[in-house]
C-alpha cells in the first residue's frame, strides 16, 4: 500500500434513503469521522479538512435491513452509471417516490448528489448536485451546480443554456445522460465526477462471490497479481502457492492413453475452464483449486483481488456478509489492512454478524460501528456513536457484552427464541405420542 495521487481516490461520506426497499422513513448512514474522538487516528482519512472513516461495520439480525442498505448503495451506483437500478419502493407506503442521496469525495473535493425516482412512471422527478467547501472557520458551504425539481418547478444550473432546457427534456434518465454534455462546462464536469465516483465502487456478497475477478487478475503476471497470491498464501498457512496455469500442467485422467487434449477439444465452458486452471500447491503437490480447496479458501481467493485492488487503487469495497465461511481472525486482518495508516485512499463498508469484530478497545472508533434495527414501527439505522456515556457506552465499555445483552438493539426478537423452543417441545411431544 503506497501513496497515490488524490485524483485516483474516491471515498463515500454519507448515504441517504427513504421509501426504498426496507426503509420507509429517511435513514442516514455516515462515514464522517468525529474528530472530537482522538482514538485510532489511523482509521481516519484526512484530506482538505475533510475527515472520512476508512471502514464501517454494520450489524443486525437476519432480514432486518442490512442487505437493503447495500442495495441502496448498489442502486446509487447503477443510477450514476445509467444502468437499470432495480429500485423498489417500500411496500408499506402509498408513495411511489424513492429518494436516494450520496455525499462523497472525488479528486480531493466533496460533492453531494440526491435524486427522487417515481418507480411507477419510471421518471426522475428530482436531481440535485452540489459541491461542498470548508471556510477558514471549518464551516461547510454548499454551492449548487444543478437542481431539477419537477414537482415545484424549480430549475437551476451553473450552465445558463442548460437551465432553460431542463423543463422540456425527458425525465426517464438523469439530465447528464439526456443532453450532449460536451457542449456545457459544468454539466460535463458533473457527469465525469459522478461516473468517476461510481466506477470506484465494488459491491460483493460473500455468499455468492464470483471467482472471475481474481481469475482475470491472475491471468496477467504483475505486481498486483503477486500481492493477491501473497494474500491468499498468508490466509491459508498450508498453501505453498496459488496460480493460473497452462492446460499442460493440469492433471486430467483421460483414460488408457492419457493424452493431453487441447483446450478447444474439451467441451467445457470458458468460465469453468478458467476455474480448472486455478491451481493450489500444498507441500509441493499441485491440485485444482475448484476440486480440492475448501469453501472458505475459495472465498478468500475470490475476495483477495477486490481487497488488494481497493488498497492499491483507492477504491470503495462494499461487502455483504464479510464473515461468511471465513475465520474471524482473517476478517479482523482484512479490516485492519483498511484501517492501517498505510492505506491512504481506500474504504471498506461491510455487513457482519461476528461480534468479535465489535471491538472499540482495540480496533474501532465508536462511529465505525453501525446497527440496523427492525421492529413493528419500521427499520432504523444508527451508530454506536449515538449512545452517550450516560447510556453506559464509553471508550472502555465492553461493547460485545453490551450488544449480547440487547442494550444496543439490532438483535433478533427474544420472542423468536421462545418460538423456536416451543417448536422443539412440540416436536418432542409429537415423537413421544407417535411411540
Q: How high is the pLDDT of residue 287? A: 82
**What span, in angstroms and rounded, lies between the C-alpha atoms of 53 and 329?**
22
Q: Are both 161 and 47 inside the same structural domain?
A: yes
Length of the chain: 435
Say what the pLDDT of residue 253 is.
44
pLDDT tens-place string over residues 291-310:
777 788 888 889 999 999 99
Q: Is the pLDDT of residue 188 over 90?
A: yes
Per-residue pLDDT for 62 more than 90? no
Please choose, from the candidates 152, 146, 259, the residue with its C-alpha nearest in 3D space to the C-alpha of residue 194. 146
Residue 28 near residue 16, CB atoms below 8 Å:
yes
- Please list, in sequence order, all residues whose beta carbon lies within 8 angstroms of the beta carbon of residue 302, skipping any fewer than 6 positions away: 209, 210, 211, 213, 214
More confident residue, 285 or 119: 119
Structure-model confidence comparison of residues 393 and 134, the more confident one:
134
Q: Which long-range contacts (CB under 8 A, 24 or more apart) does 79-83 make?
A: 79/115, 79/117, 79/174, 80/113, 80/174, 80/194, 80/195, 80/197, 80/198, 81/195, 81/198, 81/199, 82/173, 82/174, 82/177
Residue 428 lies in a domain: no
- CB contact set of 25 (below 8 Å; sequence gap of 6+): 18, 378
Is it the case that residue 94 has pLDDT exceeding 80? yes
Q: pLDDT at residue 14 above 60?
A: yes
- Would the pLDDT of 274 be above 80? no
Query: Are 111 and 180 members of one domain?
Result: yes
The pLDDT assigned to 413 comes to 59
325 shares its domain with 373: yes
User: How do strand 123-134 and strand 109-118 relate by DSSP bridges?
Assistant: antiparallel
As a whole number, mean pLDDT of residues 6-15 equals: 81
Domain match, 55 and 27 both: yes
How is 105-172 classified by DSSP, letter by letter? Answer: EETTEEEEEEEEEETTTTEEEEEEEEEEEE-TTS-EEEEEEEEEETTTTEEEESSHHHHTTGGGS-SS
Average pLDDT in the 187-198 region? 97
- The answer to the question of residue 413 being in a domain is no
Is the pLDDT at 428 greater than 60, yes or no? no
Residue 268 has pLDDT above 80, yes or no: no
- Average pLDDT score over residue span 354-370: 85
The rounded mean pLDDT for the chain is 85
Residue whose C-alpha is closest to residue 338's, from 7, 12, 5, 71: 12
Indicate the residue among 275, 303, 331 that finishes a domain.
303
Q: What is the pTM assigned to this prediction?
A: 0.86
Strand-pairing partners, residue 320, are 205
Q: Please report whether residue 207 resides in a domain.
A: no
Domain boundary among 257, 282, 303: 303
Share of the chain above pLDDT 70, in %: 85
The whole-number average pLDDT for the span 148-170 is 94
Q: Between 185-199 and 66-80, two packed helices, what is the crossing angle to 10 degrees?
A: 140
What does the pLDDT read at residue 265? 41
| Phi, psi dihedrals of residue 341, rounded to the nearest 5° | -65, -20
Judge if 29 and 153 occupy the same domain: yes
386 in the same domain as 241: no
Using alpha carbons, list the distances in angstroms from residue 58 to 64, 108, 163, 386.
Answer: 11, 26, 40, 14
E strand or H helix at 372, and its extent?
strand 369-375
Does the structure show a pLDDT above 70 at 357?
yes
407 has pLDDT over 70: yes
Asked whether residue 417 is domain-assigned, the answer is: no
Which residues sit opposite 111 in a β-bridge?
Answer: 104, 131
In a domain, 31, yes or no: yes
| pLDDT higher than 50, residue 6 | no
- Residue 248's pLDDT is 62
Domain count of the chain?
A: 2
CA–CA gap between residue 80 and residue 374 (Å, rounded): 29
- Under 8 Å between Cβ of 335 and 57: yes
Radius of gyration of the chain, Cα coordinates, nearest whole angstrom: 25
* Residues 382-389, mean pLDDT to the nearest whole number: 85
Give the confidence band of 255 by pLDDT, cuts at 50, 70, 90.
very low
Within 172-252, where are the H helices?
185-199, 212-218, 223-235
Instruction: Indicate whether 41 belongs to any domain.
Output: yes
pLDDT band, residue 282 (cuts 50/70/90): confident
Return the pLDDT at 138.
82
Q: Which of 127-131, 323-327, 359-363 has the lowest mean pLDDT?
A: 359-363
Q: Are 365 and 339 in contact (CB under 8 A)?
A: no
Query: Is position 411 within any domain?
Result: no
Question: Residues 351, 321: contact at Cβ < 8 Å?
Answer: yes
Residue 44, pLDDT above cutoff 90: yes
Q: Are 95 and 132 within one domain?
A: yes
Statement: residue 260 has pLDDT above 50: no
Q: Which domain holds residue 274?
A: 212-303
Asked whether the beta carbons of 213 and 224 are under 8 A apart, the reply is no
Residue 229 has pLDDT above 50, yes or no: yes
State yes or no: pLDDT of 245 exceeds 60. Answer: yes
Residue 324 has pLDDT above 50, yes or no: yes
Would you call 64 helix, strand, or coil by DSSP? Answer: coil
Domain final residue pick, 303, 327, 356: 303
3-state secondary structure of 182: helix
Amino acid at each position: 500500500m503506497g501513496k497515490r495521487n488524490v485524483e485516483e481516490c474516491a471515498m463515500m461520506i454519507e448515504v441517504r434513503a427513504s421509501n426504498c426497499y426496507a426503509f420507509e422513513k429517511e435513514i442516514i448512514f455516515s462515514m464522517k469521522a468525529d474528530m472530537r474522538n482522538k482514538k485510532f487516528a489511523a482509521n481516519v482519512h484526512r484530506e482538505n479538512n475533510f475527515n472520512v472513516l476508512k471502514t464501517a461495520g454494520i450489524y443486525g439480525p437476519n432480514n432486518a435491513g442490512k442487505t437493503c442498505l447495500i442495495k441502496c448503495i448498489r442502486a446509487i451506483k447503477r443510477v450514476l452509471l445509467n444502468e437499470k437500478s432495480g429500485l423498489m419502493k417500500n411496500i408499506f407506503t402509498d408513495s411511489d417516490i424513492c429518494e436516494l442521496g450520496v455525499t462523497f469525495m472525488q479528486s480531493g473535493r466533496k460533492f453531494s448528489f440526491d435524486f427522487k425516482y417515481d418507480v411507477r412512471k419510471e421518471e426522475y422527478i428530482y436531481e440535485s448536485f452540489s459541491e461542498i467547501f470548508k471556510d477558514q472557520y471549518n464551516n461547510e458551504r454548499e454551492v449548487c451546480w444543478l437542481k431539477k425539481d419537477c414537482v415545484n418547478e424549480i430549475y437551476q444550473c451553473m450552465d445558463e443554456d442548460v437551465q432553460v432546457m431542463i423543463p422540456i427534456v425527458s425525465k426517464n434518465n438523469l439530465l447528464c445522460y439526456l443532453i450532449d454534455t460536451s457542449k456545457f462546462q459544468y454539466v460535463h464536469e458533473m457527469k465525469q465526477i459522478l461516473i468517476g465516483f461510481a466506477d470506484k465502487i465494488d459491491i460483493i456478497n460473500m455468499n455468492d462471490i464470483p471467482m472471475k475477478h481474481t481469475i482475470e487478475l491472475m491471468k496477467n503476471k504483475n505486481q498486483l497479481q503477486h500481492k493477491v497470491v501473497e494474500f491468499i498464501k498468508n490466509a491459508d498457512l498450508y498453501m505453498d502457492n496459488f496460480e493460473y496455469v497452462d492446460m499442460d500442467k493440469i492433471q486430467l485422467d483421460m483414460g488408457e492413453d492419457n493424452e493431453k487434449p487441447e483446450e478447444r477439444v474439451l467441451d467445457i465452458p470458458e468460465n469453468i475452464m478458467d476455474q480448472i486452471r486455478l491451481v493450489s500447491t500444498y507441500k509441493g503437490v499441485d491440485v485444482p483449486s475448484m476440486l480440492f480447496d475448501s469453501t472458505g479458501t475459495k472465498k478468500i481467493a475470490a475476495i483477495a483481488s477486490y481487497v488488494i485492488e481497493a488498497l492499491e487503487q483507492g477504491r470503495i469495497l462494499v461487502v455483504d456478509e464479510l464473515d461468511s465461511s471465513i475465520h474471524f481472525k482473517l476478517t479482523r486482518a482484512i479490516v485492519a489492512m483498511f484501517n492501517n495508516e498505510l492505506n491512504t485512499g481506500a474504504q471498506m463498508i461491510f455487513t457482519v454478524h461476528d461480534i468479535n469484530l465489535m471491538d472499540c478497545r482495540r480496533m474501532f472508533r465508536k462511529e465505525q460501528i453501525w446497527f440496523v434495527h427492525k421492529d413493528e414501527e419500521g427499520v432504523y439505522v444508527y451508530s454506536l456513536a449515538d449512545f452517550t456515556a450516560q447510556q453506559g457506552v464509553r471508550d472502555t465499555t465492553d461493547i460485545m457484552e453490551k450488544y449480547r445483552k440487547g442494550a444496543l438493539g439490532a438483535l433478533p426478537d427474544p420472542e423468536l427464541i421462545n418460538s423456536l423452543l416451543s417448536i422443539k417441545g412440540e416436536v418432542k411431544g409429537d415423537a413421544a405420542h407417535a411411540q
